[in-house]
């Protein structure tokens, strides 16, 4: 009877160790995917921001179709990465990503209208939003944040939730 009990306990311990190991591997894969997706989002948000600025400086969509197409394509790629990042994000990351998206949406609209100065003003907000997203990513990964959170005014989803 004691041998049977010891076998059952050993099997239970082995099962728990296996589950714990699988859980750790899954979390590692999720964290790695999140890091990779965030890195890709960094590139696409910068492209979107820069393309919107070029379009605005050129005078808007009516005068410069090529710049308008480039800005739209860059923004579309950002939106794709935005949705991909949100698959593994925490609620705070999701809110920070929404703030960044709203700012880049506004930049594109301002650029289409040729509103250069307003579009430039949104550039700083977009950088602040990206820094906030990085801060929440670090929290999601269990690291200490490097900087304090920036307020995004009317685009701030965290402060308004």
| Distance (Å, whole) CA 85 – CA 95 | 12
pLDDT in tens, 82-101: 999 998 888 999 999 999 99
Please tell me which residue, 103 or 89, carries the higher pLDDT value.
Answer: 103
Least confident stretch, 8-12, 37-41, 74-78, 142-146: 8-12
Q: Please state, in angstroms and as integers, the Cα–Cα distance from residue 81 to each residue in 28, 36, 101, following that order.
A: 20, 10, 11
Q: What is the mean pLDDT of residues 111-128?
A: 95
pLDDT given for residue 96 in this prediction: 95
Kindly report the CA angle at 77 between 112 and 71, in degrees rounded to 5? Answer: 20
Answer for the pair 110, 71: CB distance below 8 angstroms, yes or no.
no
Short-list 90, 95, 88, CA closest to 28: 88
Q: Where are the domains of the chain?
A: 31-155
DSSP letter (8 states) at residue 155: G
Q: How far apart are CA 17 and CA 14, in angstroms?
A: 5
């Amino acid at each position: 009877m004691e041998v049977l009990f010891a076998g059952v306990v050993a099997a239970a311990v082995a099962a728990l160790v296996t589950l714990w190991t699988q859980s750790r591997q899954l979390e590692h894969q999720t964290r790695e995917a999140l890091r990779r997706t965030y890195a890709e989002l960094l590139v696409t948000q910068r492209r979107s921001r820069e393309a919107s600025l070029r379009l605005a400086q050129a005078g808007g969509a009516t005068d410069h179709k090529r710049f308008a197409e480039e800005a739209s394509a860059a923004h579309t790629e950002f939106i794709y990465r935005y949705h991909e990042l949100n698959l593994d994000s925490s609620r705070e990351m999701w809110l920070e990503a929404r703030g960044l998206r709203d700012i880049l949406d506004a930049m594109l609209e301002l650029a289409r209208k040729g509103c250069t100065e307003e579009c430039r003003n949104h550039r700083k907000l977009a950088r602040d939003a990206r820094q906030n997203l990085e801060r929440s990513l670090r929290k999601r990964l269990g690291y200490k944040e490097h900087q304090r959170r920036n307020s995004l005014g009317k685009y701030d989803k965290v402060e308004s939730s």
